[in-house]
Chain A
Amino acid sequence: MKPDPQKLPRRVIARLDIKGPNLVKGIHLEGLRVIGDPAEHAVRYYQAGADELLYIDIVASLYERNNLVDVVSRTASEIFVPLTVGGGIRKVDDIHQLLRAGADKVAINTGAIRRPELIAEASRTFGSQCIVVSIEAKRRREGGWEAYTDNGRERTGLDVVEWAQRAVELGAGEVLVTSVDAEGTRKGFDLELVQTLGPRLPVPVIACGGAGSIDHVVSAFDRGADAVAVASILHYKTESMGSLKAGLAARGLEVRS
């Protein structure tokens, strides 16, 4: 594949799922295993060349609490690439709190589905560039994808493509789409999902869920992802951020070294 001159260098985002004080990782967003200290991992990924970092507090939605502020403030002073933080955001004031702690953008899932106006309020207050709408997508038996919340447990009845388009109309600056089916499997992205959303949305689409090899990441970019978020491949040391980006460059993709 040739580098596409119309595209920006490909963004590789390190995703860190956080539960309480721990960095965790699951499969299909469930069966969480403790990986270690989120701060230590975040700084290491930043130093190794992550283009952005993404923290998701994966229990915040379930128990209506927010542990993130502490982890954000402990790491933000050492990280000088964009930091997106999500989990349990219900109102504009939650966003204020995370930005004050050092986040640059916030990712909103459940809060936006329950009350879509939150996207409009948040983008009016902080600008669209600050608001990432996060969608957990699960394949429907009859075709297409349904948006879920609470780590792929709660159905919403919303069609992923329609919801993503609505979120952009309401002011989302980026859309993070996580395939619940592929997440944690390290067997590759749901490429059909990436291909359906990437070229269709007028804002950047971040593909997440399933990256287990450099070739998987190449395929996601190939199908129209503007950025890719990876987790297991880094946490379990299949690749380092450095070897992942070197591999993408070796396969003809332009990345930041």
Chain B
Amino acid sequence: MSPRVTVIDYGIGNIHSVLKALRHQGAEVTLATAPDAIAGADRLVLPGVGAFGDGMRALTARGQLDAIREYVLLSRPLLGICLGMQLLLAESEEFGHHRGLGLIEGSVRAIENRPTVKVPQIGWNRIVPPPGGSWDGTLLEPLPSGTMMYFVHSFTAAPTHETDRLADADYGGQRISAAVQRGNVIGCQFHPEKSGSAGLRVIDRFLTI
């Protein structure tokens, strides 16, 4: 039987690529707006590209916030991608101060605009486990350390607890949180659906968690 995945539709950004990649890897994909469909999902994806405040407002307006929290209590896997990962954190300083889902402690802040780097970060960057960390048994298990993934973002997550970091990337000397995980809540800043065959391996892994 095909693994079933529910992708949250909250009207933010272009989610066609995520749907396409999940389907290509054999998932039966449902796009869901209704809180019931979100709370009752087998596997849940929170996609999204755009601003943090807009994202939270959109989730709130559709009654999806509580549905996501309810879903997470059932210990089923949740994958946030890009803005979807950032929304997992407690707060953001993007265009003012905003509260996030708070599933992972920490905040979202701007990538420092140093003269050596361009913001947004657009392109491929290497991801590695955080110091002392390992990808054994995680979403990133199929990847060798140093695999290049595709990033497009101006803000970056700073988890409070080192143990919530799953992968890091280096951007002109700044530590970028490339993936986070706390229990069944996982987020990746890079786009697995746009990261070629390495990204598709991550999606395969998500479908078997």
Query: Interface code B119-144, partner A: CB below 8 Å = 1, 0 otherwise?
Result: 11111111000000000000000000
Do B196 and A80 touch (CB < 8 A)?
Answer: yes
Q: A102 and B17 in contact (CB under 8 A), knowing A80-B193, A81-B196?
A: yes
Chain A, 122-159, CB within 8 A of any chain B CB? 126-130
- Asked if A104 CB lies within 8 Å of chain B CBs, one says yes
Q: Is the CB of A6 within 8 A of B173?
A: yes
CB distance from B112 to the nearest CB of A (A): 13
Given the complex, which residues of B lie within 8 Å of A80, measured CB to CB?
21, 24, 193-197, 199-200
CB distance from A71 to the nearest CB of B (A): 16
Mask: chain B, 185-203; 1 = CB below 8 Å from A; 0 = not: 0000000011111011000
Q: Does B148 contact A (CB under 8 A)?
A: yes
CB-defined interface of A15-35 with B at 8 Å, one 1/0 digit per residue? Answer: 000000000000000000000
Given that A80-B21, A102-B17 are contacting pairs, would A127 and B118 also be in contact in the complex, using a CB cutoff of 8 Å?
A: no
Interface residues on A, range: 20 to 34
Which B residues have a C-beta under 8 Å from some C-beta of A?
A: 13-14, 16-17, 20-21, 23-24, 49-51, 113, 116-126, 148, 150, 152-153, 171-173, 193-197, 199-200
15 contacts between A and B (CB under 8 A): A76-B20, A80-B193, A80-B194, A80-B199, A81-B196, A82-B194, A99-B16, A104-B14, A129-B49, A129-B120, A203-B120, A203-B122, A204-B122, A226-B118, A226-B122
Q: Enumerate the 9 nearest inter-chain pairs by beta-carbon distance, A residue then B residue, closest first.
A: A6-B116, A8-B123, A129-B152, A256-B148, A6-B172, A99-B14, A256-B124, A9-B124, A204-B122
Which A residues are closer than 8 A to B by beta carbons? 5-6, 8-9, 11, 46, 49, 51, 76-78, 80-82, 99-100, 102, 104, 126-130, 173-174, 202-204, 226-227, 256
